[in-house]
Amino acid sequence: MQKKTLLSIVVCFTMTTLYAQKTEPADTLKGQTLDEVVVAQRRKLIKNDIDKLTYDVQHDKTAQTKTTLEILKKIPLVTVDGQENIRVQGSTSFKVYKNGHPDPSLSGQNLKDILKAIPASTIKRIEVITDPGAKYDAEGTTAILNIVMMSSSKLQGVSGNVNSKIDSYGSVRLGTYLTTKVGKLTTTVNYNYANQNKKQTENYREEAYNYVKTGEQKREYGTNSTAATIHFGNISASYEIDSLNLMTASANFFGYKADANTQNTNERWDKNSLLIYKFDNNMTTPGYSDLNLGGRFDYQHKTHLDGEVLTLSYMLAATRPQTTFRQTYSNMVNFPVSYTSYDQNTRERFTEHTFQIDYVRPFGKHHKIESGTKYILRNNNSTSLMDYQGTTPDMESKFKHKAQVAAAYLSYILTAGKWAARAGLRYEFTRMKASYPDGSNADYHANLNDWVPSASLQYKISDGQTLKFSYNTSINRPGIGYLNPAIISTPTAVSFGNANLGSSRNQKLQLEYMLVTSKLTLQLSPYYSFTNNGIGRILYEQNRKDVSTFQNILKSKIFGISSYTAWTPFTGTSFTLNASMRYARITLPTPYIKNSGCGGGIYFDWEQKIPWKLTLTTSLGGEYGNRVYNPYAIEGHWFYYNFTLTRRFLKDKLTVSLSAESPFVKERSTTYRIVQGDYTGYERAVMKPQCFKIGLSWKFGKLRASVKKAARSIENDDLVGSNKK
């Protein structure tokens, strides 16, 4: 039945495609009629430079009615799946910057909600940086998405956007975006509210493990859901003193409060299928909140030499997560511990100060030098309390961690005819100090020295073809979530951090070919990356409990290829295909474990203009094969599809959209298979993907200016395992 329905939809779309060729003009065509002859030229929206790939959002006419999340689907190397999860080159290990610097709100699990709140019409371009050079820190990610907002204009006045969306689950999102310009001062304010109904996340989960050494079996099954309330926003301002001097400042916040509920049944059996224990547990979060605050100030000075820029920057970032998990047990048979419930209370305090100087100077037409220095001061404090109801004594753990990072970089860029080259070197010194106010461990300190080289070479084959080879190195430093040695113990599991973790290093080689024509854009990018001291989660069994901690011992080798194709065969019709494939081999030396697999993702979008000024967008895709991201497990495959119908009213000021996500699927399951280690088995989740949404967006005012930004600013993205992303 589903196949027949999909076939009917395809036939219908094909007919509307042919009809639309005669009724709708092209979005990106500029024409002039001379004696019934039309001279048309299509602007190339994609540009591939030595240091980045750029998508020209400003001149994409469809951006006037899209959100930033929607426009990401049109950008090479970037994919957005049916659950609105974002990947760059098939990986979720990337960072999002705004105007060349990180924004604390553009991180974490709610990134998609934030990008949905930013109108694409306020964006000038989006840059994809897959081989960050020396100026971008040794930031621990292999890719960066840099969103560059529209620059200020000479217009005065107010412009804004109000948008909302509600879905069939009962979840609601409201947002507003306002820009004002008076004289030399430009201000932008945005605020967003989202309420996630628990029905949106309701699912059934089942876990089944076989323990290799003992032959015992464990099974856990039940349901869970999470309701959440989210508030986020920022205010930015720029003051253009004169044509050579610019000051910018911003402040932002992100607040999150969740109400989670999990009901599970746990069973453990011996090798002869005799019951060892059984119990039910109910987990709630009576106190689960997170507050992120940030601020930034930049002063930019340009000289009369075109391209010479000096930037002074300061950034403050602070996170204040506070968590209370409550576990209650019932229907107990041979219960393995001496308590019937417990509260786990965790409070973390993270504060970061960053000072930075950047300097750029061109030499003639072909040479440019980029240099800079940076100092970061980080303070982490955490308190963890396990409050048991029973004979088990309560446990409290306090941990303090301080880190100082000093860095300097030098980068050289050469452009000569069809050739372009870039080479850079970055040095980072890190001093880490840990202390234990409760006296549970001895204080310690460590010094880390990291040299981070990078290089790229690009050849312009023709006006629309480029070939680029690049080498890049990145490092990861552990955050407090990985370092905190507090022991969290439950009847079935134990977890704790490792205060002795150091930085890890990843190296990547990449070849990139790109073809850009008036109707077709094609990009192919094979790559190879490897690391010998990756920070990874270590899993093992001890005393019938699953133990989890972290170590610097992962070795990984990854071969992959990503591709992007954008084709506009007819007026009003466009296709986009993002596809990737990767082979990964990840090993642990002690005890020796090897896990490998080949898989990838395919994401397809079809945008079609149809009669009555409607635009129909069809998206489908998913993940395939055996995808490996750690030494123990293989990710399962899955598939999605959705449809969106959009109509603009009142001179394009009002946009109405209707969406259907997996309308013919009531249930979908994904399986996560554990194939290596002390225990093997699977984790399976069953969700309800079927969802219908209606969205409204209203634009007002005529001002098209946005806050002007410094050409250089601060990026801190070297931490893993921390609330500060």
Tens digits of residue pLDDT in 259-290: 999 999 999 999 999 999 999 999 999 888 88
Identify the CA nearest to 689 among candidates 227, 200, 79. Answer: 200
Helix intervals (H) in 85-129: 111-117
| pLDDT tier for residue 118 given thresholds of 50, 70 and 90 | confident
| pLDDT tier for residue 494 given thresholds of 50, 70 and 90 | very high
Domain boundaries, the chain: 42-149
Q: Residue 705: its pLDDT value, please? A: 43
Q: Residue 35: its pLDDT value, please? A: 43
| pLDDT tier for residue 190 given thresholds of 50, 70 and 90 | confident
> Any idea which of 153-157, 555-559, 624-628 has the lowest mean pLDDT?
153-157
Q: What is the pLDDT of residues 385-438, one digit of tens each?
A: 989 998 888 888 888 989 899 999 999 999 998 999 999 999 999 888 888 888
Contact indicator for 87, 78 with CB cutoff of 8 Å: yes
pLDDT greater than 60 at residue 540: yes
Backbone φ and ψ for 181, nearest 5 degrees, come out as -140, 120
- Where is 700: in which H helix or E strand? strand 691-701
Compute the mean pLDDT over every residue in the chain, rounded to the nearest whole number. Answer: 84
| pLDDT tier for residue 656 given thresholds of 50, 70 and 90 | very high
Contact indicator for 164, 174 with CB cutoff of 8 Å: yes
Burial of 409 (0-12, 13-18, 19+ CB in 10 A): buried
| Percent residues over pLDDT 70 in the chain | 86
Q: Residue 713: its pLDDT value, please? A: 52
Tell me which long-range contacts 362-365 makes (C-beta under 8 A, separation of at least 24): 362/305, 362/306, 362/307, 362/308, 365/415
Is the model more confident about 1 or about 393? 393
Angle CA(671)–CA(675)–CA(681) in degrees, nearest 5? 55
What's at 200, amino acid-wise? Q
Burial of 382 (0-12, 13-18, 19+ CB in 10 A): buried
Residue 350's DSSP bridge partners are 319, 380
Q: Residue 259: its pLDDT value, please? A: 92
- Rounded Cα gap, residues 216 and 276, in angstroms: 9
Is the model more confident about 53 or about 109? 53
pLDDT greater than 70 at residue 604: yes
| Percent residues over pLDDT 90 in the chain | 45
Residue 694's DSSP bridge partners are 166, 658
Angle CA(279)–CA(283)–CA(285) in degrees, nearest 5? 165
Angle CA(290)–CA(253)–CA(94) in degrees, nearest 5? 80
pLDDT greater than 90 at residue 681: yes
- Rounded Cα gap, residues 663 and 641, in angstroms: 8
Q: Residue 709: its pLDDT value, please? A: 56
Its pTM stands at 0.80
| pLDDT tier for residue 707 given thresholds of 50, 70 and 90 | low
Tell me which long-range contacts 549-553 makes (C-beta under 8 A, separation of at least 24): 549/495, 549/496, 549/497, 549/498, 550/478, 550/482, 550/497, 550/498, 550/501, 550/721, 551/498, 551/501, 552/501, 552/502, 552/504, 553/588, 553/589, 553/590
- Rounded Cα gap, residues 532 and 588, in angstroms: 10
Q: Which two tokens stand for residue 62?
A: 């469809």
Q: Residue 97: its pLDDT value, please? A: 80
Q: Residue 587: its pLDDT value, please? A: 96
Q: Dihedral (C-alpha) 605, 609, 613, 619: value to the nearest 10 degrees? A: -20
Angle CA(102)–CA(108)–CA(110) in degrees, nearest 5? 110
- CA dihedral for 679, 680, 685, 686, sign (positive or negative): negative
Q: What is the mean pLDDT of residues 604-616?
A: 91
Q: Residue 218: its pLDDT value, please? A: 95
Burial of 109 (0-12, 13-18, 19+ CB in 10 A): exposed
| pLDDT tier for residue 710 given thresholds of 50, 70 and 90 | low
| pLDDT tier for residue 84 given thresholds of 50, 70 and 90 | confident
- CA dihedral for 709, 139, 412, 129, sign (positive or negative): negative
**Start-to-end Cα distance in the chain:** 45
> Any idea which of 5-14, 173-182, 642-651 has the lowest mean pLDDT?
5-14
Q: What is the pLDDT of residues 140-187, one digit of tens each?
A: 556 788 888 776 544 467 778 888 889 999 999 898 888 888 878 888
Identify the CA nearest to 154 among candidates 184, 194, 130. Answer: 184
CATH for 42-149? 2.170.130.10
pLDDT greater than 70 at residue 16: no
pLDDT greater than 70 at residue 725: no
Q: Residue 158: its pLDDT value, please? A: 79
Q: What is the largest CA-CA distance in the chain?
A: 94
Where in 479-592 does DSSP place strands (E)?
Answer: 488-489, 493-495, 504-516, 520-542, 545-570, 573-588
Q: Residue 110: its pLDDT value, please? A: 64
| pLDDT tier for residue 671 given thresholds of 50, 70 and 90 | very high
> Any idea which of 98-112, 486-500, 655-669 has the lowest mean pLDDT?
98-112
Identify the CA nearest to 348 among candidates 385, 382, 325, 378. Answer: 382
Q: Measured between alpha carbons, how far is residue 664 from residues 166, 200, 379, 658, 688 in Å?
A: 20, 17, 50, 16, 11
Q: Residue 714: its pLDDT value, please? A: 55
Q: Residue 90: its pLDDT value, please? A: 66
